[in-house]
């Protein structure tokens, strides 16, 4: 291959500091041992990228954002055995090293080698593979998918089915397992149950898909942006609530609507106030509240301690508790076999050079998921 072993010059989005992003010419070094260089085909714009762009996570700038990517392996570094040039792959915000405590435990999936909490902005060896105008550029979540080429550790890449439509399956790298997985795999939503989903963006909509697939009979969707409601109803939401238009706190309204509280509540925004509202919307005795949203670092969640003893469960969940490299390829296969339909989650697809337009659509709340195409 012509580019093997060479630095590639290509276009990438660089966040120079918070709230400042531009497309630039960057240099992408060849992969080192245990790394994979990928030609990106598509990348979703996820709420976690927005947290990065707003500076809500302690990340080093300048950086290349993006983590929900699909691409084709260009070359691999020494020792890489799970993928080879030409393979279709997804990038993983949570890797699976298969060596750390979480990876070796039967239940854990929050691999020690992740770069979410805390964030270093580097590859595993502490250095970066990107530069621009002679300046070092950091990675984000060790993935960085808003670029024509990226370098990712092998443990954060997974090969998928050759038949996968690459303009769509990027969502299965993050939003779909995070949302759908939280409902079907973590909460194990039961048939006939009542669910409430706080946040009807890309991930919250994937939660709705999972609740519906699990046979929930009532799915209450909560969002301050009513533009999300028609899409949410199409996915299976039965009742839509806009907290800004309610005369009472939203959890009181959910309690009144259900009589006994929800069986399952999902927070898919990343605010402590909505986490509390989700917790307070659950049934006192057997309700289960799942926290999916990524709250700003150092924020604290304060619960009424005496209410915990009644039996309800609070659970954090990342990537649907799936061990990522083991489980995510199966979700792609399930999509190809029409067992999961992710298509309604993708409301917009734009070429990468329309990044600013795509971010504007995201920020004005006009998308469920917008996918960038390279």
List active site positions. 46, 48, 51, 67, 174
Helix axes 250-258, 272-281, angle to 10 degrees: 20
Cβ distance to Zn ion smaller for residue 174 or 206:
174
* Least gap, CB of 163 to Zn ion (angstroms): 24
CB 31 within 8 A of CB 373: no
Q: Which is nearer to ligand APR, 151 or 368 (CB)?
A: 368
Nearest to 164 by CA among 340, 367, 358: 340
Q: Which residues contact 32 (CB under 8 A, 6 or more apart)?
A: 77, 78, 123, 125, 129
- Residue 222 contact partner, candidates Zn ion, ligand APR, none, CB within 5 to 8 A by sort of partner: ligand APR
Residue 53 binds to Zn ion (criterion: CB under 5 A) = no
How many other C-beta atoms are found inside a 10 Å radius of the C-beta of residue 4? 12
Residue 300 neighbours by CB distance under 10 Å: 6
* Residue-by-residue DSSP string for 158-196: EE--TT--TTTGGGGGTHHHHHHHIIIIII-PPTT-EEE
Q: Give the one residue of 174, 265, 292, 331 binding Zn ion; rule: CB under 5 A.
A: 174
Q: Residue 332 and residue 330: Cα distance in Å, rounded? A: 5
**CB under 5 to 8 A by kind: which of ligand APR, Zn ion, none does 42 bind?**
none
Q: Quick count: other Cβ atoms within 10 Å of Cβ 278?
A: 31
Segment near Zn ion (CB under 5 A); pick from 64-72, 83-91, 117-125, 343-351: 64-72
Judged by beta carbon, residue 228 or residue 323, the one nearer ligand APR is 228
State whether residue 48 is helix, strand or coil.
helix
Ranges assigned E (strand) in 29-148: 35-44, 69-76, 88-91, 130-132, 135-137
Q: Residue 228 binds which one of ligand APR, Zn ion, none, with CB within 5 to 8 A depending on kind?
A: ligand APR
By CB under 5 A, tell whether 48 contacts Zn ion.
Answer: yes
Comparing CB distances to ligand APR, the nearer of 79 and 316 is: 316
Binding residues vs ligand APR (CB under 6 A): 46-48, 50-51, 175, 178, 198-204, 222-225, 228, 243, 268-271, 274, 292-294, 365
Selected binder of Zn ion within 21, 46, 59, 64 (CB under 5 A): 46
Q: Does 205 bind Zn ion (CB under 5 A)?
A: no
Q: Please, how many CA atoms are within 13 Å of residue 201, restricted to the half-sphere of its CB?
A: 24
Binder of residue 274, out of Zn ion, ligand APR, none (CB less than 5 to 8 A by kind): ligand APR
Smaller CB distance to ligand APR: residue 132 or 361?
361
Residues that bind Zn ion (CB under 5 A): 46, 48, 68, 174
């Amino acid at each position: 291959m012509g580019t093997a072993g060479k630095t590639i010059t290509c276009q990438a989005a660089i966040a120079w500091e918070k709230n400042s992003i531009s497309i630039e010419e960057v240099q992408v070094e060849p992969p080192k041992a245990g790394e994979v260089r990928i030609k990106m085909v598509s990348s979703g714009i996820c709420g976690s990228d927005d947290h990065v762009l707003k500076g809500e996570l302690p990340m080093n700038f300048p950086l290349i954002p993006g983590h929900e990517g699909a691409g084709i392996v260009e070359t691999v570094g020494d020792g890489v055995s799970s993928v080879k040039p030409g393979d279709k792959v997804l990038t993983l915000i949570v890797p699976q090293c298969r060596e750390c405590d979480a990876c070796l435990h039967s239940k854990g999936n929050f691999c020690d080698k992740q770069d979410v909490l805390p964030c270093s902005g580097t590859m595993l060896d502490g250095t970066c593979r990107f530069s621009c105008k002679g300046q070092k550029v950091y990675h984000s979540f060790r993935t960085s998918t808003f670029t024509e080429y990226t370098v990712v550790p092998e443990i954060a890449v997974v090969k998928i089915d050759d038949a996968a439509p690459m303009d769509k399956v990027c969502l299965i790298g993050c939003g779909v397992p995070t949302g759908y997985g939280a409902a079907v795999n973590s909460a194990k939503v039961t048939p006939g149950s009542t669910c409430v989903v706080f946040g009807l963006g890309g991930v919250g909509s994937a939660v709705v898909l999972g609740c519906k697939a699990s046979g929930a009979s009532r799915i209450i969707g909560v969002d301050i942006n009513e533009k999300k409601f028609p899409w949410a109803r199409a996915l299976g939401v039965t009742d839509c609530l806009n907290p800004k238009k309610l005369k009472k706190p939203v959890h009181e309204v959910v309690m009144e609507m259900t009589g006994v509280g929800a069986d399952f509540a999902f927070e898919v925004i990343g605010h402590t106030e909505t986490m509390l509202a989700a917790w307070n919307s659950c049934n006192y005795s057997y309700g289960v509240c799942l926290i999916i949203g990524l709250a700003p670092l150092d924020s604290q969640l304060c619960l009424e301690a005496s209410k915990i003893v009644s039996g309800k469960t609070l659970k954090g969940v990342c990537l649907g508790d799936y061990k990522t490299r083991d489980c995510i390829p199966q979700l792609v296969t399930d999509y190809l076999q029409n067992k999961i339909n992710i298509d309604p989650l993708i409301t917009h697809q734009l070429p990468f050079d329309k990044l600013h337009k795509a971010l504007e659509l995201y920020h004005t709340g006009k998308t469920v998921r917008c996918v960038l195409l390279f």
